[in-house]
Structure 1
Amino acid sequence: MIGTLAAGALAPHPLYKEVKSRITRDLAAGVWKPGEPIPSEARLARGFGVSIGTIRKAIDELVAERILLRQQGRGTFVATHSEDRTLFYFFHIVGKDGSRELPMTEMLSFRKTTARKEDATRLAIAPGTPTLRIQNLLKLGGKPVVFDDIVVPGALFPDLDEHTFAGRDGTIYGLYQARYGINVIRISERLSSALATGTVAARLAIEAGAPVLVIKRVALSYNDTPVEYRVSTVNTAAHEYLSDLWKTEGR
């Protein structure tokens, strides 16, 4: 909810950072939902009791972080998880020539379980907490390339079942956003090399012991709240990992 910023609360950080933090909290609270416009810069400036320049600087950072999206002549909107956004922002596996395509996803299993130690650490929950574990096979060019093992806290997705997950219209993050109001705004990934185990090798149609890339990803919502932990095993015979970085002031 927009409200004038108290002068005493501004000392530790630049003013625009305080504004950015307040806007982010409002987004987390669902004041403005995905796909909806936020108020104009002039209205926000009046509401926060700051200059338009301060508002613009805060919004510039949120746009650079792809939390908000500016549309020429229309205004600024809360970003939604379209397939294009997923392909160019969250999916980093490309052909050796740099070509990109949205993978075809086959769900292999969906089950209720409890958090293992590593799951709990990555999701900031207690070991043994109820979770959902989903395994997917991602195909590029009709061939299996990525084996995903996904864990999410059951409390965040109380009625998510196999039918809903498999029958979603769009991406996984789009489902989180549209059905549960959970907006993945950034990811943290750790990469390592490994040798394919028998089970994973069979899924990827490669020999056991073949070299693979392992990506351990935590998906984060507002205020860096972890909402998903995913371990992806990638056959890099014809594909590689590509991450395009961008820079915003203060990073």
Structure 2
Amino acid sequence: MNRDANRPAVRATAPTFSPLYRQIKDFLVASLERGEWGPGDAIPSEGELAQRFNVSQGTVRKAIDEMAAENMLVRRQGKGTFVSTHDDPRSFYRFLRLLPDDGVAVPSASDPFFCETIAASAEVAAALGLQPGDPVIHVKRLLSFAGETVVFDQIYLLADLFGGLTLDALRAGERSLYSLFESDFGVRMINAEERLRAVGADSESAGHLGVGVGDPLLLVERTAYTYGNKPVEWRRGLYCTRSHYYKNDLG
């Protein structure tokens, strides 16, 4: 039979099928976004959630498994399932993959020295889904390991989420930046994507990192996302790899 010449070969809009466990996952993520369960809180048991959503425990388990794999939730044997938090020391090493040449991780010391609201450049706006000129908070800080300054970070944050952030707040206490963002502003970084390339040090980074202008540095550009895959932070980190290396586990 000949196809009607006026009939399109493929429908322009076909319904999108979402597996049931993905629908449950979407409900759970929405609950996290609303703050129904905060960082570190236990979520209801799989049985309780199955009753709430009128689905099988297996469907709930599959949704939770996927959220755990994405670091939104963490299972604790014999205790239950909890909302992931940046206060967990293991979370720190998810986002900083720099190690000394001997491979033994050592605590870092953060030294923020600049924090101002500025107009977003075209590059920053594109990374954060803004318009050029929109307000962003610009933070500069140094990271040191065993007394050696290794990283110069320039960080850009959504001003509407981090209003009131000050240099004094950044310098207070021993918390990581992501732990501070989570506890003081209710913004949790769920995942991030990074781009790496080799660059030559400019005069500013050379001065901070104790290298010569033009010396090789590793540039790590990171966009960090909160719930709903919303970009909330973009940073340009310049890493001195004179005695450190960037480690990434694949698999």
Same fold (TM over 0.5): yes
Q: Given the alignment of the two structures, is residue 56 of structure 1 paired with residue 61 of structure 2, yes or no? A: yes
Instruction: Give the residue type in structure 2 aligned to 1:146.
Output: V
- 1:27-106 to structure 2, matched below 5 A, reads 27-82=32-87, 84-106=89-111
CA–CA distance in structure 2, aligned partners of residues 179 and 239 of structure 1: 32
- Picking from 241, 246, 250, the partner of 2:246 is 241
Secondary structure of 2:160's counterpart equals helix
1:124 to 123, 129, 142: 129
Partner AA of 2:34 in structure 1: A
Q: Does 1:196 align with 2:181?
A: no
* Pairing partner for 1:221 from 219, 226, 242: 226
Larger radius of gyration: 2
Deviations 1:216-241 (A, max 9, x none): 00110011101111100000111111
TM-superposed CA distance for 1:99, in Å, is 2.1
Taking structure 2 as the reference length, the TM-score comes to: 0.90
Q: 2:10 — aligned with what?
A: none
Corresponding residue of 1:209: 214
Worse-superposed segment, 94-103 or 225-234: 94-103
Q: Could you tell me whether the CA contact under 8 Å between 1:20 and 1:58 is conserved in 2? A: yes
Residue 150 of structure 2 corresponds to residue 145 of structure 1:
yes
The answer to whether the Cα contact below 8 Å between 2:112 and 2:167 also exists between their aligned partners in 1 is no
Paired with 2:88 and 2:140, the residues of 1 have a C-alpha distance of 20
Q: Size of the alignment, in residue pairs? A: 237
Q: 1:207 to 1:113 in 2, by over 3 A?
A: same
Instruction: Encode CA deviations 1:97-134: one digit per residue, 9 max, x unaligned.
Output: 32222311111211121111111111111111111111
Cα distance in 1 for partners of 2:38, 2:76 equals 16
Amino acid at match of 1:105: S
Identity of aligned residues (%): 36
Aligned equivalent of 1:183? 188
- Structure 2: where are the runs of 5+ without partners? 1-14
Kept in 2: contact 1:87–1:101 (CA 8 A): no
CA 1:132/1:244 → structure 2, altered by over 3 Å: closer, same or farther? same
